[in-house]
């Protein structure tokens, strides 16, 4: 007797048995056993249920028919030695390779875990760098290219009081980048109306945003934000006069003051 062994999808087994019986005219002996574990298909990667089978037959003609039927049903055949001693040695070799693969997979998993842990410590820093680079290139996209295609030209508004700081920043950037050509800043005369600029700090910024929500003052127009800062506490006290609500707002304000640095560091899409 000769035999072939392999695995096949469980849903194809009934049709596989019928075709073997009819094509070989009942001259084959088929034994099957379901595999409890769910395996992944080697082509699609989808989880499938499979069954292991072994087919006994006589003659080369039946062997050819059986192999063609197995190929037609996309069954996977595995080599199996004829003698018990060879099968035992092959089983030991397969188990040894499985243990080696488990060891390699375990080491790979540990290495991947260490790499991800090390990368997780730098993710926030990388995100900050990427956002800075993105903002720089976004600003560069607003520049105009010179006719010589060797430099970029940009026009912008800036406070007169900040001109010295801008020049120092450009000089420092030129030195740190190692550029041989310094950046040039020229003050231009124009008839256009400058945009509104209100110098604020972390305390006055909130009141300025409230005022700007209703309307932004034009250039050199009186800014109502300072008057809002004076009148706002009284108006707020009129709107929310109960003690309980005031305590809640007080505790919320204290919480934000204590967590100011952490909240600033955790800002997203800044």
Q: What pLDDT tens digit does each residue of the chain (270 aa) get?
A: 788 888 888 888 899 889 888 888 888 888 888 888 888 777 777 888 888 998 888 888 888 888 899 888 888 888 888 788 888 888 899 899 999 999 999 999 999 999 999 999 999 899 989 999 999 899 989 998 887 878 888 888 888 888 899 999 988 988 888 888 888 888 888 888 888 888 888 888 888 998 989 888 888 888 888 888 888 877 777 776 677 777 888 899 899 888 888 877 766 554
User: Dihedral angle at the C-alpha atoms of 158, 163, 168, 171, nearest 10 degrees?
Assistant: 70
Q: How far apart are CA 15 and CA 62, in angstroms?
A: 18
Handedness of CA 63, 64, 69, 70 (dihedral sign): positive
In eight-state DSSP terms, residue 170 is H
Tokens 């290139």 locate to 137
Alpha carbons 24 and 127: distance in angstroms, whole number: 67
Q: Which residues face 7 on adjacent strands?
A: 52, 76
- The full set of domain ranges for the chain reads 2-80, 83-142, 143-192, 204-265
Tokens of 166: 């801008």
- For residue 61, what pLDDT is reported? 86
Gap between the Cα atoms of 12 and 74, Å rounded: 9
Per-residue model confidence (pLDDT) at position 270: 47
pLDDT score, position 267: 62
CA 59 to chain centre: 58
| Helix runs in 82-193, H state only | 84-140, 163-177
Tokens matching residue 103: 């060891």
The burial class, CB within 10 Å (0-12 / 13-18 / 19+), for 149 is exposed
Please give the CATH architecture assigned to the domain spanning 2-80: 2-Layer Sandwich (3.30)
DSSP labels, 33-51: EE-SSPEEPTTT--EE-EE
């Amino acid at each position: 007797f000769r035999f072939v062994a392999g695995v096949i999808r469980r849903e194809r087994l009934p049709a596989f048995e019928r075709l073997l019986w009819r094509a070989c005219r009942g001259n084959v002996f088929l034994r099957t056993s379901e595999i409890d574990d769910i395996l992944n298909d080697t082509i699609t990667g989808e989880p499938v249920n499979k069954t292991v089978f072994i087919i006994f037959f006589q003659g080369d003609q039946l062997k050819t028919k059986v192999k063609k039927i197995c190929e037609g049903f996309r069954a996977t055949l595995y080599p199996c030695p004829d003698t018990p001693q060879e099968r035992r040695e092959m089983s030991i070799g397969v188990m040894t390779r499985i243990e080696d693969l488990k060891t390699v997979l375990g080491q790979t998993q540990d290495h991947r875990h260490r790499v991800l842990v090390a990368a997780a410590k730098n993710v926030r820093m990388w995100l900050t760098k990427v956002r800075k680079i993105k903002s720089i290139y976004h600003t560069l996209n607003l520049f105009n290219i010179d006719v010589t295609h060797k430099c970029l030209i940009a026009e912008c508004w800036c406070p007169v009081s900040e001109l010295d700081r801008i020049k120092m920043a450009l000089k420092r950037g030129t030195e740190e980048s190692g550029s041989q050509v310094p950046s040039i800043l020229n003050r231009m005369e124009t008839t256009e109306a400058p945009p509104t600029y209100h110098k604020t700090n972390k305390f006055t910024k909130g009141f300025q945003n409230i005022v700007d929500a209703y309307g932004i003052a034009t250039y050199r127009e009186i800014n109502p934000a300072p008057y809002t800062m004076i009148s706002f506490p009284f108006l707020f006290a009129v709107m929310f006069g109960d003690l309980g609500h005031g305590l809640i707002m007080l505790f919320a304000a204290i919480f934000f003051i204590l967590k100011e640095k952490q909240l600033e560091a955790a800002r997203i899409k800044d």
